[in-house]
A and B are shown apart, each in its own frame.
Chain A
Amino acid sequence: MAVLQHLQEDFFKGIWRENPTFRIVLGLCPSLAISTSVVNGIGMGLAATFVLLGSNLLVSLIRNVTPSKIRLPVFIIIISSFVTIADLLIEAYTPDLHKALGIFIPLIVVNCIILARAEAFASRQPVLYSIADALGMGAGFTLALVIISGIREAIGNGTILGVPIFGPHYEPAITLILAPGAFLTLGLLIGLVNYISRKR
């Protein structure tokens, strides 16, 4: 029972208490750059979750044989190899998905969330908990991206997932899907999340 509770906690902390985007504020470069449409947000979120899962699993498996002095280069080798392998496999077996995710997959290498989870969690915890952590962090990241991109796509383009939501007379505020919109949306959302958690 304790194991199950532990797993549950490792999973859910990624969604709110330690949400990578809103609370830990990591991996902002991809969050800002690709959150222009909900499809992009979901794609990036899922691709990052996939890599997180692979890297947490491997890092946790070899945690007892990796000398701590060289652990960071080892993590980076694992992450970048895993991203490249994932990229090749996705392109070979699901070319349509690869076309949609194309530029995001290589971008995942520089996403600090992956390295942060390897260092802060997977290198100290058993495999099972590391998987729960990866899934929770991935879900939290995906959720954050969907919220940011939902706001930006709705106001900046008048659509959600490409479907018009405000009718034909809505004049989109293009700023929201340009770079300033990314900073405005993210800043206001982090403020909102902080406000809510203070109140609690």
Chain B
Amino acid sequence: MREFLKLTGILTLIAALFAGAVSYTYTLTKPIIDANRYKKRVEAIAAVLPPFNNQPEKEKKVVPTSKGEKVEFYVGKKDGKVTGVAFQNSIKGYSGDISMMIGVTPDGKVYGVDILNQKETPGLGAKVAQKTFTQQFQGKGLEESRWDVKKMKGDFDQVTAATISSRSVIEGVKERLLLYQKHADQILKD
């Protein structure tokens, strides 16, 4: 019995000690990590928008979707005139979610797509994050294009042997373009 108490005591002590070390590191690094993530977001917005000179991450409009999500639209302006709108989407890929930042010009045509995070198969599906795949969205609008891979009679090239990942990205961009189209007036309004 005494040994039982002694062992339990030691183990509890060690667990508490290390839990303390972990939480101390957490509070120490939290502000830095948050700042890094914010910076990443600002960079991602800049990467998919035409040149602007305001701070789009601060001029955002929030639009609810039919699924109950709240989507933020970041409006880029140059000298007070809207040059483009950026927004994020996260959609199920082949393994895990693919999250992307999409930028459009005010008329709803894609300006840039940037994959922020993905866990697709390295060497296959992961190639959807490469420029060679994401560049093909530039200038594409909802009406003019068939939003699917060529294999399924669409207009977009797919990554070889990664049809699911490719279609997910295409679907993710299309979903947000539809939402933008629906709420464009509200988003572009000052």
Contacts and interface: CB of A to CB of B under 8 A. Distances in A.
Interface of A: 34, 36-37, 40, 66-67, 69-70, 73-74, 77-78, 81, 84-85, 88-89, 91-93, 95, 103, 153, 156-157, 174, 177-178
Interface of B: 6-7, 10-11, 14-15, 18-19, 21-22, 25-26, 28-29, 32-33, 36, 40, 119, 121-124, 161
Contacts of A81: 18-19, 21-22
B119 A103 contact: yes
Contacts of B18: 77-78, 81
Contacts of A73: 11
Interface of A is mostly: helix
B123 A36 contact: yes
Given A88-B33, A177-B121, 18 more contacts: A36-B122, A37-B122, A40-B122, A67-B10, A69-B7, A77-B14, A77-B15, A81-B18, A81-B19, A84-B22, A88-B29, A91-B29, A91-B33, A91-B36, A92-B33, A92-B36, A153-B123, A174-B124
A88 B10 contact: no
A68 B64 CA distance: 57
Given A70-B11, A77-B18, A88 B25 contact: yes
A196 to B, nearest CB: 29
Contact of A177 (B15, B26, B33, B122): B122
Contacts of A156: 123
A84 B18 CA distance: 11
